[in-house]
Structures are given as C-alpha cells and as structure tokens.
Amino acid sequence: MKYLLLFLLIFTQPVYALNINESIKSTIINNIKVKNAYEKLNESKEIIENSYGKKLPSITTSISGTYSKSETETSNVTTTPESFTDKYKITLTQNIYDGGVNNLEIDRSNLLYEIEIIRFKNTIQNLILRAIEGYLTVTNFSKSLAANKKNYDSVQKFLEETKTKYDIGSATLFDLQNAESAFALAETNLFVAKENYNISKKTFKRIVSLEAHNLEEIANIDEKIKLKQVIDTVQKQNLDLLILGLEISNNEILLSKEKNSKLPSLDLSASAEYSDTGRIDPGSKKTDGSISLTLTIPIFQQNIDNSNIRKYHSKILQSEYNFEDYKSDLEIQALNLFKDYEISRSNIQTNLKRIKSIETSLDIIKSEYALGTKSITDIIDAESELLSVNVNYHNSKKDFILNYFQIKALQGTLIEMFENYLPEFN
C-alpha cells in the first residue's frame, strides 16, 4: 500500500534528534507487552505441531525382568528351581480412520494460530498508537511550556513596570493588583506546564524505552481521507472484526468435530515380544507377534454428543450476531473519528487566524500603551488571550494528527506503515 509522505523531519535538528519512526521501532522491540504477545504466538504454534502429531503412529516399548524361586518336596526329594525371565516388547498403534476429526483439529489449530497473529498485530498497533500519542503529548507540552515561559516573562516585566509606576504615582492600586493577579496566574500556569512536560516524558519512556530528548516535529499530514473509503476499509480489515470472523469459523469446525465423533473409528495395533527364561537354569526362549484391527462404533454416548452439537449451533449464531453487531459499532466509530478529524483540521485553521489577529492587536495595544492611551491591563489581557489560543492551536494540531492515526488503526492499516519493525512470526 502506498502512502504519501507522513512525516517531514526538521533538518535543523541535531543528528541525535529522536523522530517518531525511531520511537515506534523502540516500542516494538523493547515493550514488555510485545514480548509477551510474541511468546503467546510461540505457544499457539505448538498447538499446530500437536495436532499434526496426533496423526502419527504411537510406538511404545517395555523391558522387564522377572525373578522367581519355588520349593517343591516329592518323596523326600526337595527341589528349589530358580528362573529369571527377560521380556522385551514393542507396540505400534495407528489410527486408520477417525471420521476426519484429526484433520479438522489441524484446520482448527491453524485457524487459532491465525487468530493469535491478528491479536499480536493488534497489541503492536495499540502500542504504536500509544507511542504516537506519547510523542505528540511530549512535543505539545514542550511547546506549551515555552509559551507559558514567554507569557510568564512578559507578565513579570509588566508587573515590575507597574510597581515602578505605582511608586511614582502614575499607576493606580487597581493596576498594581491586576498585574499581581496576572503574575500569580502566569506563575501557576508555568508550574502546571512544567509538571505536565515532566510527566509526559516519563510516560513516553515507559512506553518507548527511550528518553524524550530533541523530539522532531511531526508536520501536517498530506493525505486526503474520504469517509466512504474509511468505512469500507474498516469493515474489511479491522483487526478485531477479523478475529470475530475467525471465531465463527472456529465454532463451525468444533461443530463438525462433534458431528464426526458419532462416526466409527478404525485403529491398527501391532506388537512383537521376545522372552528368555534361561538366565539361571536352562530354560526356553519365546517370540510372539500380533496384529489387530479395532473398529469402534459409537452407539450411545449419554446424549452428550447431541447436547454439544446443539451448543455449537448456538455458539455459531452468537458469534455471527457479535460479528454483525460489532460491524455496526465500527461504522459509528469511523463516523465519529472522521468527524473529529475534520473538526481538528478546522480548529487548526481557526486558531492560526486567531493567533495572527491577536498578535496584530497586541502590537497595536503596545503602541497605544507607549502613547498612554492603553493600560497595562489591556496588554496583560491580550497576552493571556494569545497564550490561550497558542495552547489551543497546539492541542488542535495534536488532535488532528492523532485522529489520523486512530483512523488508520481502526482500518487495521496502521501496522502496515511500520511493518519493517515487526519481528518474524511465520
């Protein structure tokens, strides 16, 4: 699948800057949840080996040694014969016909492994989303911290100016109190921004296993998304929906196995035995061999088989209902995500226009303040508004990018964008 360029790197960053691809690669390689899911895959793979093994013959051997001693008294003659018998036996058993149960179990084990592969991909895809969200959160809080620091410095400067003017009588007590209030708010906002940034870095490291230093910016995504295409892809490739579809097939196989258990089975058994009783006193050697065929015909199984057949018919219907119900839910999720994606796109443009407007207004207010026609309160209010809109802009940009990747995850195609980082599992 071809994608347009998703990430534009900021080439002025240092060579050791961390980009989103490296973050996701580290997440896939180092995250414990991925390692655990991979081991689950290996466990599921053994089920396939076990199902194939059931079609192979079973060979057993036994070796035994028996010592015996007895005492016999006849006409004043007493004898105490002793014997030690070696016995060697090998037995081979092979199912010849089982009504197709073993073949169905092989099909089922392969299907269960396919389900585990999809679950494995789902685990990785969810972690990729978390890594992207963590990456965006760190960069967003970093920008918010910078904006709050700038606002703090600006308000602090105005507070000092207001104190000076108040001392010489050119500013009122209201002006001073307003400046002190604005400074206290800026100080609190700066503290909150620092804490948010520090916590976001720790969360990022917990997911990605890398320090969140010098993160490169993710540029706006240049891919056009069409709602109909999103819904069509979701209903065909959503990973959870694929699992539900395979669960239907799994129950159908279980039903077939239960029906076939009512069929007769044919087993072959062959054995060879050698024994030697002449280890102590002269004895005899004996060799035996046998081949047998056993035909087993189920006649009555306490109605358990019929009950299980009805049960699996019910489970098939349940899994079909779940499939259709979840398919309808997915359409609503796709509609909501697409709506949020378009809203965040619109918010970006709106906030950009508002920032430009407020910056122009702030320049005018500063000029008028220098002429004495505007107060320090006007400047502080404009600075606060600019800070708020800047934060909104970064949040809308984060939401836009995150919504894009959430749509890809819902479609089941997010993992394809980073498939080069996936471990081998086939």
Residue-wise pLDDT for 385-421, tens only, equals 998 898 899 899 889 988 988 999 999 988 888 777 7
Identify the sign of the CA torsion 207, 208, 209, 214: negative
| pLDDT value of residue 5 | 32
Does residue 15 surpass a pLDDT of 50?
Answer: no
Whole-structure pTM value: 0.75
Stretch 75-93: mean pLDDT, rounded?
Answer: 76
Cβ neighbours for 58, distance < 8 A, ≥ 6 positions apart:
92, 93, 94
The residue with tokens 């709050």 is 148
Q: Rounded distance, CA 284 to CA 304, Å?
A: 51
Dihedral sign for Cα 393, 394, 395, 399, please.
positive
Phi, psi torsion values for 67, nearest 5 degrees: -105, 135
- When the pLDDT of each residue in the chain is averaged and rounded to a whole number, the result is 84
Q: Output the pLDDT for position 192.
A: 94
Pull the structure tokens for residue 89: 């036996």
Distance (Å, whole) CA 67 – CA 82: 7
- Residue 208's pLDDT band, with cuts at 50, 70 and 90, is confident
Structure confidence at residue 327 (pLDDT): 94
At residue 9, φ and ψ (nearest 5 deg) are -85, 145
Query: pLDDT tens across 254-277, in order?
Result: 999 888 888 888 989 999 988 877
Collapse the DSSP code of 139 into the 3-class scheme (helix H, G, I; strand E, B; otherwise coil) and give the result.
Answer: helix
The Cα–Cα gap between 38 and 29 comes to 11
Residue 221: predicted pLDDT:
65
pLDDT of residue 294: 87
Q: How many helices (H) and strands (E) does the chain have?
A: 8, 6
pLDDT digits (tens, 9 = 90+) for 338-396: 999 999 999 999 999 999 999 999 999 989 988 888 887 788 888 889 988 988 998 99
Task: Using a pLDDT cut of 90, give the percent of the chain over it.
Answer: 34
In terms of average pLDDT, the best of 98-102, 175-179, 347-351 is 347-351
pLDDT classification of 8: cutoffs 50, 70, 90: very low
Which has more pLDDT, 19 or 226? 226
pLDDT at site 407: 93
In this structure, are residues 364 and 298 in contact, taking their beta carbons and an 8 Å threshold? no
175: number of CA atoms within 13 Å, CB side? Answer: 19
Task: Report the C-alpha gap between 68 and 137 in whole angstroms.
Answer: 83
Residue 80's pLDDT band (boundaries 50, 70, 90)? low
The residue whose two tokens read 């053994």 is: 46
Which residues make beta-bridge pairs with 83?
A: 68
More confident residue, 318 or 25: 318
74 — pLDDT class (breaks 50, 70, 90): low
Model confidence at 297, in pLDDT bands (50, 70, 90)?
confident
Torsion of CA 147, 27, 231, 426, to 10 degrees: 170
pLDDT of residue 78 exceeding 70: no
Do the beta carbons of residue 404 and residue 218 sit within 8 Å? Answer: no
Residue 132 has pLDDT above 90, yes or no: no
Q: Does residue 6 surpass a pLDDT of 60?
A: no
Local confidence band at 241 (pLDDT 50, 70, 90 cut-offs): very high
